[in-house]
Amino acid sequence: MEYTKPYRSLFGEDGILEPFAKKIERRLGDMEGFFADEEAYKSLLKEDPLIYTVYEMPAPAEEGQFSYATTILYPGKVGEEYFMTKGHYHAKRGTGEIYVGISGCGVLLMQTQEGEVKSMEIVKGTVAYVPPYWAHRTINTGGENFVFLAIYPADASHDYGSIAEEGFAKILVERDGRPRLIGKDEY
């Protein structure tokens, strides 16, 4: 039998994994249809800002293996809506995930296929559990980078399609200078 060899990475408050195997950058232009305010989206698209960067260490996609990744979610808003990740279900629905806050502050938004929504704040030192079957997205509600670590089954695989088509039932917007979760049709 071929064993996977153990390995490790280091990260600091900036969230850059050393070493990492894969780096993914998502710009505003990669997120058409994700933000509620289409006019604000179009006008910000001229700058096409970087929304988040992911540093990944994927393990072989086999049952029992774990992958880990850090995400650096930059501060900003599209209209009143904070910068956020695309969000996804795991393609293998019965797999969960663990999030660990590294720096900055934000919200982990989760939703079941039936439309139940849960949100929790993540700051440095927060450990949050995303159980199987919950779609998950992170949102930067602060003025600095929101950085976190995610640990997930290596065979979970991502289903982005469902969220890209239907979105989350709730969105996080800034109202009176504070984050407020509202129905996506209330924008």
- HSE-CB for 39 with a 13 A CA cutoff: 3
SS3 100: strand
31, 41, 85, 172: which one binds ligand S6P (CB under 6 A): 85
28, 36, 69, 171: which one binds ligand S6P (CB under 6 A): 69
Taking the C-alpha atoms of residue 4 and residue 112, their distance in angstroms, rounded to an integer, is 33
Letters for 103-142 (x = contact with ligand S6P by CB under 6 A, - = none) are ---------------------------------x-x----
Give me Rg for the CA atoms of the chain. 16
From 18, 38, 19, select the one nearest 28 (Cα to Cα): 38
Nearer to ligand S6P, 41 or 152 (CB): 152
Taking the C-alpha atoms of residue 113 and residue 115, their distance in angstroms, rounded to an integer, is 5
Taking the C-alpha atoms of residue 110 and residue 131, their distance in angstroms, rounded to an integer, is 10
Nearer to ligand S6P, 15 or 177 (CB): 15
Both tokens assigned to 179: 């984050």
Taking the C-alpha atoms of residue 100 and residue 11, their distance in angstroms, rounded to an integer, is 12
Letters for 154-173 (x = contact with ligand S6P by CB under 6 A, - = none) are ----x---------------
Q: Which stretch binds ligand S6P (CB under 6 A): 11-19, 58-66, 81-89, 113-121?
A: 81-89
- List the single partner that 168 binds among Zn ion, ligand S6P, none, CB under 5 to 8 Å by kind: none
28, 31, 54, 154: which one binds ligand S6P (CB under 6 A): 54
What residues make contact with ligand S6P under the rule CB under 6 A?
54, 69, 71, 85-88, 97, 136, 138, 150, 152, 158
